[in-house]
Structure 1
Amino acid sequence: MPDRDREVVMAATMYYLQDLTMEAIAKHLRTSRSTVSRLIKRAREEGIVEITLRPAHSRAPGLGQQIASTYGIDAYVVPVPDSATLEDRLEQVAMATARLLTRWFDSEMVLGVAWGTTLASIARHLPRKPTRGSEVVQLNGAANTRTSGVSYAGDLIAGFGAAFDAHVHHFPVPAFFDYAETKAAMWRERSIRRVLDVQARADIALFSVGALTGGLPSHVYAGGYLEPEDLAVLDAEGVVGDVCTVFVRADGTYRDIPINRRATGPAPHQLRRIPRRLCAVAGDNKVPGLRAALAAGVVTDLVIDERTAVGLMRGVRARRPEALRSEVVAAEGLPLVHRATPSRPVAADVQ
């Protein structure tokens, strides 16, 4: 362990476990009190220290347990007041997601990132965590008939790369090709295959779910990516949302939806090959799409605000509560995050 990292651990141990004052720690480490304060702050920022609280009045712990037991995933429920606006709920979820991602992502890892309204909010809240040999890759194309998509998706992906000092791989293709045959031909090009190969090596995938209507509009539906005839097809096919611009029905099926043959994002069966798949969701209108994503088995970790979690579990009977452990994690300047995780996660596998 590098000397500086060792000092972080030593300072945090003496402060939190041995109950020593900062002055005493500074004397022991032969440094200043201000340096000790920075070491302890770094321990919190990097997830070496987690501050656990147990508030008396919140639905979040129970909701997290219900989600974990029902869907076999790790659930992080962010408490929000009933008066919170949708924008506030999104910001709280974005902050919590950025905090978790920073804890998990490290050197020599590959992070796959989709684009969208939620991902843009997460990017704004990422703290700096320099890594070595890490990579960030764009998961789905962003161009459409109105824009190249380079500015929007490029800036978003670059923000993740800058936060981690990671090498960035852009994906210079449309969100949807006009013809499935064009996509098939492009997927044989070496420049495209290079990006697809990096996607296949991802350790973590970060994404949200798209909603067709209501609330804050999902970028794929509001940004000119779909024509009226496309929307009519989605309605006829019973589509309730999308993951990485691949559309899914309520039961998690997706393979026979025509537009998906032209989509450039990874399909659920491809996403499921990535070990950790972190999904961030805020908004009642996203509940149908989230249920579809969960049915498709693409989520291993879910960050969700309390009100959206209520909607997700409305009318759903939780299973296996005895197989759960739960905790409440808070970080300085961030909302409380109530986490529940099943002892034996069960991944769905929808074909």
Structure 2
Amino acid sequence: MTNDESLAARAAWLSYIGGYTQGEIARRLDVSSAKAHRLIGQAHKAGLVRVFIEGAPGECLRFEEEIARRFSLQSCVVAPDIDDDDARGSRFRFAGVGAAAAKRLYAVLEGGNGLTIGLGKGRSLAAMVQNFPRIERPDLKFVSVSGSLTRNLSANPYDIVHNMVERTGGEGYFLPVPYIAASTRERELLIAQKSVADVMELARRADVYVIGVGAVGRDPAIKAHIQQVGMVSDDEWRDLQDKNAVGDIMGCFIDADGLRVDSAINRMTLGLHLEDLKGRRVIAVVGGKDKGQAVLAALRTGAVTDLIIDEGTAASILKIADGEGA
């Protein structure tokens, strides 16, 4: 451990256990107030601090009970909306859901040895990893449930297997193919590779799945994450909109009823299918704006058993469902 790492750990103890203010920590460690602040931030980033909030506002609890009951879920966790100010950036929109998901995954991992966890992708799951503490669990395996690359074969910035391996000391297994192939022919060639087939078989045997849900929005001025990183083209996106797709799970694009839409892109997805998840424990972690319709559709697939969402999405789900008479 370097001197700065040691100071960061000491600053974390003084702050969270000792209750010291930032100024008091600075004086205690003989550093500037600005450095004390940086040390506490460094401790967070290094996973030295685990902060799980045990309580929840009453409104969130009521949402949890209603959504779990209505959609027959094993559990539903609704994180309070922390900040809806776009000027602060997207990181804050996923903070609450990320913290709630980290707490739930930590509890899942504590409950068993030698677990294999199937992991999806996205900003919500990335926020979960950011809030996950460092633990020593070399018995764990983390495996991608969908292609780990973009179409130009660059790494998906929100593929979280590597980061979970860093946090736990477990083993990581990537699916070394694009999230969505460029053609059905390319998909057939890639899926036939032994290395790909082996990882997919491991993913099918996972004990628990933690996945995200993407939204297919209608606003042409707002590009979804998979558009921004080049996973789908603008033409393909317009086709999905024309086919009334509202969301995607592991690259499977679905309509408001949770049914796979008849689009060419659904025949080019590389990874597990929704059918592979049926009857398994599937924790969907969803944060961000305007996800209500997509999450509702995901619930209607019957694949999701546990749901972690933010307060705004919870309200949106119930409002849409009530409006449809669901």
TM-score with structure 2 length normalisation? 0.74
Cα deviation for residue 255 of structure 1 reads 6.2
C-alpha offsets along residues 157-197 of structure 1, whole Å, 9 cap, x if unaligned? 11111222211101110111122133223222211111011
After superposition, what is the alpha-carbon deviation per residue over 1:241-290, rounded to whole angstroms, capped at 9, x for unaligned?
111121111111116332111011322111225x2211111234111111
Q: Output aligned runs, 1:1-351, within 5 Å.
A: 51=54, 53=55, 58-73=58-73, 74-80=75-81, 87-105=91-109, 106-145=112-151, 147-150=152-155, 152=157, 156-213=160-217, 218-254=224-260, 256-273=262-279, 275-317=280-322
1:152 shift after superposition = 2.5
Letter in 2 for 1:126: F
**Matched-pair contact (CA < 8 Å) for 2:149–2:156:** no
- The residue type paired with residue 150 of structure 1 is A
Question: Number of matched residues?
Answer: 267
Q: Give identity over the alignment, percent.
A: 24
Asked whether the equivalents of residues 119 and 142 of structure 2 are also in contact (C-alpha less than 8 Å), the reply is yes
Higher relative contact order (CA 8 A, sep 6+): 1
User: Runs of 5+ in structure 2 lacking a partner?
Assistant: 1-49
Q: Aligned partners of 2:85 and 2:51: how far apart in 1?
A: 28
Separation in structure 1 between the aligned mates of residue 191 and residue 121 of structure 2, nearest angstrom: 20
Question: Structure 1 residues 223 and 81, CA, compared in 2 at 3 Å: closer, same or farther?
Answer: closer
* Structure 1 residue 61 displacement after superposition: 1.6
Q: Distance in 2 between matches of 1:187 and 1:267?
A: 13
Task: Quickly say closer, same or farther: Cα 1:264–1:195, change in 2 above 3 A.
Answer: same
1:310 counterpart letter in structure 2: A
The verdict on how the C-alpha distance between 1:98 and 1:284 changes in structure 2, with shifts beyond 3 A counting, is same
Q: CA deviation at 1:89?
A: 3.8
Contact 2:138 2:169 in 1 (8 A): yes
- In structure 1, what is the Cα distance between the partners aligned to 2:251 and 2:161? 16
Does the aligned pair in 1 maintain the 2:200–2:272 contact within 8 Å?
no
TM-score (norm 1): 0.69
Deviation at 1:66, TM superposition (A): 1.1
Matches of 2:139 and 2:82 in 1, distance apart?
41
Q: Quick one: which amino acid aligns to residue 180 of structure 1? A: T
Q: Which one has a larger percent strand, Structure 1 or Structure 2?
A: 1
Query: Take 1:126 and 1:97, find their aligned partners in 2: how far apart are those partners?
Result: 9
Deviations 1:112-158 (A, max 9, x none): 1112121221111111222242210111114334x42336256x311
Q: Distance in 1 between matches of 2:260 and 2:63?
A: 28
Change in Cα spacing, 1:92 to 1:242, as seen in structure 2 (3 Å) is: same
Q: 1:177 to 1:81 in 2, by over 3 A?
A: closer
1:217–1:66: structure 2 CA closer, same or farther, 3 Å change rule?
Answer: farther
Paired residues of 1:46 and 1:102 also in contact (CA < 8 A)? no
Q: Which runs of 5+ in 1 are unaligned?
A: 1-44, 319-351
